[in-house]
Amino acid sequence: MKKNISLGKNVVIEEEVEIGNNCTIGHNVVIRRGTIIEDNVTIGDNTVLGKEPFKASTSATTSVKELPPLVIGKGSIIGAGCVIYRGAKLGKNCFVGDLATIREDVEIGDKTIVGKGVSVENGTKIGKRVKIETEAYITAFSTIEDYCFIAPEVTFTNDNFLGRTEERKKYFKGPVLRKGARIGANATILPGIEIGEDALVAAGSVVTRDLEPRKIYVGVPARYFKDVPEEQLLENQEYYE
């Protein structure tokens, strides 16, 4: 069967790697053992796929265990200088911008965009048609449902104890964004916060409590401002399925 694979210079492919038809692999790419790349995938220069996680001696959220292979879904595009860990799974037609990092135990749905320089930490679940823009930080153990929008420089957090006491390890939990939630640039979301469906957090806000669906919140701490206009609701968008 014709594979039609284009390989750049200095590509390293380890054992048991599967590469589908019509794939393009850039220069200096490293593909670690067992990685699965489905059909019509493009990988940019200097990217590492299937990296095993390293554990710092003081890390509280990284565990050493056998992970399933990295899977890159059909039609996905991975930019230059990205690092995507073993144990991650990307759906079909995803886009990962240059210099992004996606950790182990991360699931990403179809047609989701992970922008330039974004960090997605371990144990995070991301739905379909999500947009995460430049240099946003998605902390470990977060949940982002379908159709969410996260603007540049947004920060998720998961540790209310800020690294102090062993007690904190019982409570690590990232934010939960329900379907269609939108977060403005430079907003900060505190640990374990749930943001309701179609809610909107304004730029620069700090979210310290759960937010109700279909409402706009502004400020530090974020407070109710007004309801989301009818024409902006997810159900009224042409792309909503």
Give dist(CA 27, CA 80) in Å, integer. 9
- 14 to 33, 35, 180: CA distances (angstroms): 5, 9, 39
pLDDT < 70 positions in the chain: 1-2, 57-58, 60-62
Which uninterrupted H or E stretch holds 189?
Answer: strand 188-189
- pLDDT of res. 39: 97
Q: Is residue 241 part of a domain?
A: no
Residue 187 DSSP SS3: coil
Give dist(CA 91, CA 29) in Å, integer. 21
Q: Is residue 225 part of a domain?
A: yes
- Write down the pTM of the prediction: 0.94
Q: Which two tokens stand for residue 66?
A: 């056998």
Report the number of distinct structural domains present in the chain: 1
Q: Is residue 184 part of a domain?
A: yes
Which uninterrupted H or E stretch holds 240?
Answer: none
Biggest CA-to-CA distance, the chain: 59
- pLDDT of res. 2: 62
CATH number for the domain including 100? 2.160.10.10
Q: Is residue 61 part of a domain?
A: no
**pLDDT tens readout for residues 182-195:** 999 999 999 999 99
Residue type, 93: N
The 8-class DSSP code of residue 93 comes to: T
- pLDDT of res. 57: 67
> Which residue range forms the structural domain that includes residue 48?
6-53+66-236
Give dist(CA 36, CA 16) in Å, integer. 9
Give dist(CA 155, CA 203) in Å, integer. 12
Q: Is residue 58 part of a domain?
A: no
Closest CA to 96 of 37, 145, 52: 37
The 8-class DSSP code of residue 209 comes to: S
Inter-residue contact 88 to 102 (CB < 8 Å): yes
Q: Is residue 60 part of a domain?
A: no
Q: Is residue 185 part of a domain?
A: yes
Inter-residue contact 210 to 193 (CB < 8 Å): yes
The 8-class DSSP code of residue 194 comes to: E
- pLDDT of res. 60: 66
Q: Is residue 90 part of a domain?
A: yes
**pLDDT tens readout for residues 71-128:** 999 999 999 999 999 999 999 999 999 999 999 999 999 999 999 999 999 999 999 9
- pLDDT of res. 208: 98
